[in-house]
Amino acid sequence: MGRTQKRFKISITALLFLFMLANLVFAFVWQGKFWVGSLDHYQKANELETKGNLEGALQEARQAARKKPHDTGYRNYLGWTYFHLGKYDDAVREFRKSLEIDPDSIDAVKGTAYVHEEQEKGSGIAYLREYVDGNPDPDVLLLLANMSSLDTGTYDLAIDTYNQYLKAKPSDSETRLNLVRLLESENRFKEAETEYEVLLQNDPENREYALKLSRLKSWNRSYSASVSAYDKLLLNSPHDLKLLEEKARAQQWAKDFSGAAETWELILSLDRKNVKAMKKLAQMNSYMKDADLKEIQTRNKITRMAPGDIGNRQRLAELLTAKQYHSMKRSVKGER
């Protein structure tokens, strides 16, 4: 009886051990084995792709997708591998399968659009337009905008789509900059100015945005606003010669010749051998009271600094001749 009980206990222990082992195997299979295997194939595919072996990468990508058929990441990777090999029908098939699993798979939408565009120019854009009509997903809108911005014939579509996207993602400065570049290429400078104002609101300390905005204000003939914008920039860089020159030009365009002359004089105080600044100062002086005398004085300085400047010498000769003529005229009147 003792032996029977002992054997019974051993049997129970063995059964418990086998049950636990079966559970461990089950957990290993369903919780990790196939996923790890797919990941191995995926990593191997990436390695082969990096080395330029696309055919080898394709075989590994197929294995990864086969082991995890409902994983859109592996399915999309397989689609892109087909795409890079020029096997467009196979690529579309894989992207379509991915969208059946997850209709919101942006990577599959992107892949499908690129395949269509490769097969027929404009068809990728048409596919994306149809997609966003029913589902204006910001990521797809951005994809449509970027794709349509590559062709001058669809710039207007790109601009409209960028604007639509930025309503949903107003803080995306990188995309807003893409929009600005497109607007500038289309000479839509007023709209570009508005976009830079938004960029500056989002990033008030960005000097690049502030400088671009100052220039656009001048370009759009908002000269006083441009001068004010340059003054703000100069608060932190009062001796920046480039900024001072741009401010002086804006003052000139605003017909503030006195203010422009003061700015050019400031530039000369910082750079006494700046012939360009002297010429500009002479030009500003020619627009003001006692213009001839001030311009003659400035052009004499230019002559000393740049004796070979023929244009300056000719202008100086004209001024001196005119001054001598008026002096003679006054003398004759006095004799009478």
CATH classification of the domain holding 312: 1.25.40.10
Give a yes or no: residue 96 inside a domain: yes
- For 123-143, what is the mean pLDDT? 92
User: According to the 3-state scheme, what is the secondary structure of 39-94?
Assistant: HHHHHHHHHHHHCCCHHHHHHHHHHHHHHCCCCHHHHHHHHHHHHHCCCHHHHHHH
pLDDT in tens, 144-177: 999 999 888 899 999 999 999 999 999 999 999 9
The parent domain of residue 89 ranges over 36-119
Place of tokens 């005119």: 322
Q: Which 8-state DSSP code applies to residue 152?
A: G
Give a yes or no: residue 231 inside a domain: no
Structure-derived torsion over alpha carbons of residues 67, 68, 70, 71, reported in degrees to the nearest 10: -150
> How many domains does the structure of the chain reveal?
2
pLDDT in tens, 254-275: 999 889 988 998 998 899 888 8
pLDDT band at residue 291 under the 50/70/90 scheme: low
Give the whole-angstrom CA distance, residue 195 versus residue 246: 21
Q: What is the pLDDT of residue 30?
A: 46
Q: What is the pLDDT of residue 334?
A: 40
Q: Domain end: 89, 119, 149, which one?
A: 119
pLDDT of residue 52 exceeding 50: yes
pLDDT of residue 193 exceeding 50: yes
Q: Structure pTM?
A: 0.69
Give a yes or no: residue 4 inside a domain: no
Q: Domain end: 66, 89, 119, which one?
A: 119
Give a yes or no: residue 155 inside a domain: no
Place of tokens 């627009």: 287
Residues in contact with 108: Cβ distance below 8 Å, sequence separation at least 6, in sequence order: 72, 75, 76, 79, 95, 96, 98, 99, 102
What's the token pair of residue 295? 């311009």
Q: Domain end: 87, 119, 151, which one?
A: 119
Mean pLDDT of the chain: 84
pLDDT of residue 37 exceeding 90: no
Give a yes or no: residue 320 inside a domain: yes
Give a yes or no: residue 335 inside a domain: no
Where do runs of H (alpha helix) occur along 120-171?
123-134, 138-148, 155-168
Place of tokens 């997609």: 131
